[in-house]
Structure 1
Amino acid sequence: MLEVKDISVRYGQHSALDRMSLQVAPGEIVVMLGANGAGKTSLLKALGGMVPAQPGARATLNGVDLMKLPQHDIVNAGLALVPEGRGVFGQLSVKDNLRLGALPKRARAGEAQMLERIVSLFPKLNLRMSQTVRTMSGGEQQMVAIGRALMSHPDILLLDEPSLGLSPLVCRELFSALRRIRELGIGVLLVEQNARQSLAIADRGYVVETGRVVGEGKAQALLHDPAVRKAYLGAAAH
């Protein structure tokens, strides 16, 4: 389990996170809902070691405190991040991007097996292993980014706005793949502006405002909560 407790992040005088706490269990999809600037991306970056958290923060994965690890050891501890914008290496082929994900020690023995699973999740990639990633569509690049993260054999997968800029059809394919990733026993912490689709596949959700968790619950309960519907689903409360 990923257990996050009292994480605060500051950028100069600006407080991005204020003692945020949450949990993600194995094989569970958890979505974070909130407006732009609420602190969702800052949390993912702090967990991935990309920005420092304030003293007193704890984030344990399988009993290991991620806050005490350098960035490369966070991946070896079982956490993988797919950042907003994908972060793929456009000049490299699909296969080379995926193989980079298998560099952590925990991934090397099962590289071939995980590659087969990724091809099963995203059949399009099997036909494009030698294609340069920068020549691919946004949806295909997102498949590469998620596949590369999965190659590290994560216990928890962090996803930051994976559907951003994608067509409705590709979004449906992406959310279907996330369901299948959950079936592999991988926990997913999802930051996503498409609240309706993300809650439809999630187990639980957190509502974040100004760096704090202000609400949480089962995904279906949040999906039908009048306040959540009004704020994030574009529906009038009733």
Structure 2
Amino acid sequence: MLEIGDLSLRYGQHLALDQVNLRAAKGETVVILGANGAGKSSLLKSIAGMVKPVAGSSIALEGRVLTGRPAHEIVEMGVALVPEGRGIFGDLTVEENLLLGAYAKRARNGESSRRAFVYELFPKLAQRRAQYANTMSGGEQQMVAIGRALMSAPDFLMLDEPSLGLAPVVVTELFATLRRVRETGVGLIIVEQNVKVSLSIADRGYLMEAGRIVGEDTAEALLRDPAVQRAFLGMNTETSK
């Protein structure tokens, strides 16, 4: 279980996160919904150790404290982040990017079998393993980013706007692949602009507003919620009844 308690974060005088509480179990898919600037990316960065939360914040994985640890230690403990913008190494090949993902000690045993699994998930990467990442399409680069994160043998995989800038057919393929990742027992925490698609593979969702969690429910209930439909799905709840 990944548990976040009273998590607050400041950028100077700006309070980006305000006492956020969230939980996610291994094998569960959790979606975080909110408008731009709601604090969603800051939440993932806090969990991943990329920014330092305010004193009194709590982040724990299976009872082990993650709060205040550097990013590389958090990867070693089993939490990986696919950041917005992907963050891959463009001047390295697909295979080299994946091998870098297996740098953590926890990932070194079983590296070859995990790489085979990534290539099974993303056959295009297997075909282009010697291709430089910066010559690939946006969808293929996102595959590299997800594959590299999976190479670290995570218990939890966090994804920040994985469908951003991708064609609809690529988005459909991507989320079908994330279903398969979930079936391996990896917990998924997804920040995603495509609310309908992300909720379709999720167990639960949280609503964020101005750095706070303002709602939580099952994915099915959130899809039916008139407020969510109006805010995120562009639906007129009167005409959609």
TM-score by length of 1: 0.99
**Structure 1, unaligned stretches of length 5 or more?**
none
Amino acid at match of 2:150: L
1:39 and 1:60 map into 2 onto residues whose CA distance is 19
Q: Which residue of 2 aligns with 1:195?
A: 195
Q: Which residue of 2 aligns with 1:114?
A: 114
1:62 and 1:110 map into 2 onto residues whose CA distance is 23
CA deviations over 1:117-164 (Å, ceiling 9, x no partner): 111111110100000000000000000000000000000001000000
State whether residues 32 and 205 of structure 2, in contact with CA within 8 Å, keep that contact through their aligned partners in structure 1: yes
Mapping 1:181-220, distance limit 5 Å: 181-220=181-220
CA deviations over 1:36-59 (Å, ceiling 9, x no partner): 000000001111111110001111
CA deviations over 1:172-214 (Å, ceiling 9, x no partner): 0110011001001000000001001001111100000001110
Residue 234 of structure 1 aligns to a residue in which SS?
Answer: coil
> By how many angstroms is 1:70 displaced?
2.0
Q: Which residue of 1 aligns with 2:78?
A: 78
Residue 32 of structure 2 aligns to a residue in which SS?
Answer: strand
Amino acid at match of 1:205: G
CA-based RMSD: 0.7
Residue 84 of structure 1 aligns to a residue in which SS?
Answer: coil
Amino acid at match of 1:169: V
Q: Which residue of 2 aligns with 1:58?
A: 58
Alignment length, in residue pairs?
238
1:49 and 1:24 map into 2 onto residues whose CA distance is 17
TM-score by length of 2: 0.98
2:63 and 2:123 map into 1 onto residues whose CA distance is 35
1:94 and 1:32 map into 2 onto residues whose CA distance is 29
Could you list the structure 1 runs, at least 4 aligned residues long, displaced by more than 2 angstroms after superposition: none
Q: Which residue of 1 aligns with 2:94?
A: 94
1:43 and 1:136 map into 2 onto residues whose CA distance is 29
Structure 1 vs Structure 2: percent identity of aligned residues?
A: 60
